[in-house]
Amino acid sequence: MTDTILMHPILIHEADGVLELRFNRPDKKNAILGAMYDTLAAALDGAAANPGIRAVLIGAEGDVFTAGNDIRDFLAMAGGLQDAPPARFIRAIAGFNKPLVAAVQGPAVGVGTTLLLHCDLIYASPAATFSAPFVNLGLVPEAGSSLLLPARMGHARAATLLLLGDSIDAEAALQAGLLSGIVPADALQAHARDKARQLAKKPAAALAASRALMRGDPAALQARMRQEEDAFTQALASPEARAAFAAFLARPPRAS
């Protein structure tokens, strides 16, 4: 039995023990709104508590995985950063207790890259690119990326993403240990779905225990995420960030 629900701009599909979550705002490069973060966080929390869901697959419609935060929407969010939808989503995915698979068909910017650090299997098309240009907006890394990226790819290579704000292509990401594999674009979604279904068929207790052992003590990650939240809050109010956001919002819209 399958169940498909359209919750614009997030597509949710459940089948064979796999919950699929897909960004569905291709006309806006899948830039993430606060409401999208809320939907994703709620879906992950629900999946964690549902024994029928054994794995989650994250993907996207269109040519871009996600351009990161929708800047106008992000700046309009009320309340403290720790209570904002992006932070709730980050906590949900970082603490998720079942396997996470991702299919990245195009550019993954900002949180589009950092959310992948919490996934277990990541497959990308040759057209995929990865960037975390927080410093370009006067901000700091988030989602535990200041800890996880250097651990995954080494300090020097992580610095090209987190300090220079550079983008890397799929082949470089594979060599750096960020990806599980590169798959032709026309086969990417099916390949990632098949891997998620394979995980869903594994003995659940053994899989959960193995995953927990691989991820290690979560206390260090949680502590770093709190440090990042504090630093991000301070940076967001800085003159550097205000100037960077003003310049971003003043840019004329690009032709589609």
How do residues 25-68 score in pLDDT, each as one tens digit? Answer: 999 999 999 999 999 999 999 999 999 999 999 999 999 999 99
pLDDT value at residue 219:
96
pLDDT digits (tens, 9 = 90+) for 126-164: 999 999 999 999 999 999 999 999 999 999 999 999 999
Provide the whole-model pTM.
Answer: 0.93
State percent of the chain over pLDDT 90. 85
CATH number of 3-188+200-250: 3.90.226.10
| pLDDT of 6 above 60 | no
Q: Report residue 78's pLDDT band, with 50, 70 and 90 as the boundaries.
A: low
Q: Quick one: three-class SS letters along the chain?
A: CCEEEEECCEEEEEECCEEEEEECCHHHCCCECHHHHHHHHHHHHHHHHCCCCCEEEEEECCCCCECCECHHHHHHCCCCHHHCHHHHHHHHHHCCCCCEEEEECCEEECHHHHHHHHCCEEEECCCCEEECCHHHHCCCCCCCHHHHHHHHHCHHHHHHHHCCCCEEEHHHHHHCCCCCEECCHHHHHHHHHHHHHHHHCCCHHHHHHHHHHHHCCHHHHHHHHHHHHHHHHHHHCCHHHHHHHHHHHHCCCCCC
